[in-house]
Amino acid sequence: MAHVIAVLKRPWVRVLLQGLVSLALIAALVFAARSANLLSSFRAISPAAVVLAGGLQTVGFALNSRRWQILLASAGISERLGNLTVLYFIGQFCSLFLPTGTGGDVVRTYEVARRNGRPAEAVLATLQERLLGLGASLLIGVVAVLYYLPLVPLQLRIWVLIIVAAGSVAIALLLYPRLLFALANWVWHAYGQRPLLKRLVQHRFVQRVIAVLRPIGELPPLPLARLLLLLCMALAAVLMGIGMYYVIGQSMGLTVGLMSFCLAVPLVWIVRMAPVSLNGIGVGEGSFVFLMSLFGIPASQSLALALAVLAVMSAAALAGGVLLAWRVARGSWGVARRIPNEPATGVAHEHR
């Protein structure tokens, strides 16, 4: 038994099992939707709608990159928007085609930190950008859940409340890291004299981590006006992602409005985070089919829509792979260089 557990802990075994789960879930969904009906649903999709969905995806990525740029500037890191947009596409490639959903965030954080020599600030800004997107998704999802409350099962309502509460706390602590440092100081003053905690904090590795993170605690808080701007940008980007489903669904003749997708899509994005299948493939499509069934949409149509959106996302991710290959071939990827820390956006100057 111990040998079996040791084998299951190996990364390649975990990835293989997740891939098998994804394939099994997709196969089960296709079987449940009946292949004839599924093919008919695919034929109903307009190529123009797919192109429009790709355009919405691109605009959403550009908005996310601009939001990331503002947060980096607030942390004292200056980067051109064009470079960050390219990194965002490369990150999508890594997130979708590497066996980890966070691989893209790690890659783009590493690249910005390597270029500027400020790893803690790069990590913080990237986490803030990601959590703002999550917060906007939760906000839209909660509004839609309240709008369709009679349709939503009781257990789903409870999980939505739990996710919103936990997400709100995490977002607040990372958007305003001084709160997190204040909480850590309170814990240290209350329990710091305990021998175990004292030895832990005095450990050389922990001391290095504290030294790296200390500049984060010294960063000025985000002004309320800038936070509202960032939140509006995040809401717009999330609506672009939801709009991908809407425009393709409209081309298929689905009899549901945008608000229905505002309920289903954010919940699908959250479900995809569960490390059950390979990058959420299969789990996300299954949850989308279930949620759309609340509005009377047949499984064949909702599955065809989910797979069409997955194809658009994969195309955008492959574009990121092409950009990565181009940078590697040109020799501009992985070459350590420092750029002057003069903000191009003018945001960081407000704190000086």
Query: What is the gyration radius of the CA atoms in the chain, in angstroms?
Result: 22
Number of domains in the chain: 1
Q: Each residue of 231-244: b (16+ CB within 10 Å) or e?
A: bebbbebbbbbbbb
**What pLDDT does 238 receive?**
95
169-196 pLDDT, tens digit each = 777 777 777 777 777 777 777 776 777 7
The pTM for the full model equals 0.78
DSSP states of 69-82 as a string? HHHHHHTT----HH
Question: Would you state the structure tokens that stand for residue 321, as one six-digit string?
Answer: 């792979």
How wide is the angle at C-alpha 313 spanned by C-alphas 308 and 315, nearest 5°?
95
Structural domain includes residue 329: yes
Structural domain includes residue 267: yes
In the predicted structure, residue 105 carries a pLDDT above the cut 90 = no
DSSP states of 7-51 as a string? HHTSHHHHHHHHHHHHHHHHHHHHHHH-HHHHHHHHHTS-HHHHH
Band of pLDDT at residue 235, cut at 50, 70 and 90: very high
- Burial class, 280, CB count within 10 angstroms (exposed 0-12 / middle 13-18 / buried 19+): buried
Give rounded-to-5 percent helix, strand, coil for the chain.
80, 0, 20
In the predicted structure, residue 350 carries a pLDDT above the cut 60 = no
Structural domain includes residue 132: yes
Give residue 67's Cα distance to chain centre. Answer: 13
Percentage of the chain beyond pLDDT 70 is 78
314/303 Cα distance (integer angstroms): 16
204-228 pLDDT, tens digit each = 777 776 676 676 666 777 788 888 9
Structural domain includes residue 330: yes
11-22 pLDDT, tens digit each = 545 556 556 666
DSSP 8-state secondary structure symbol assigned to residue 223: P
User: Do 298 and 40 touch, CB atoms closer than 8 A?
Assistant: no
Structural domain includes residue 202: no
In the predicted structure, residue 28 carries a pLDDT above the cut 80 = no
Neighbours of 26 (CB within 10 A): 19
**What pLDDT does 66 receive?**
96
Neighbours of 61 (CB within 10 A): 21
Phi, psi of 304 (to 5 degrees): -60, -40
Structural domain includes residue 194: no
How wide is the angle at C-alpha 174 spanned by C-alphas 270 and 166, nearest 5°?
40
> In this structure, which amino acid lies at residue 71?
L
Band of pLDDT at residue 344, cut at 50, 70 and 90: very low
Neighbours of 2 (CB within 10 A): 6
DSSP 8-state secondary structure symbol assigned to residue 305: H
Residue range of the domain that includes 225: 21-176+221-351
Q: How far is CA 162 from CA 46, 50, 155, 230, in A?
A: 38, 35, 11, 24
Structural domain includes residue 124: yes
265/259 Cα distance (integer angstroms): 10
347/71 Cα distance (integer angstroms): 9
Q: Cα(first)–Cα(last) distance of the chain, in Å?
A: 60
Structural domain includes residue 216: no
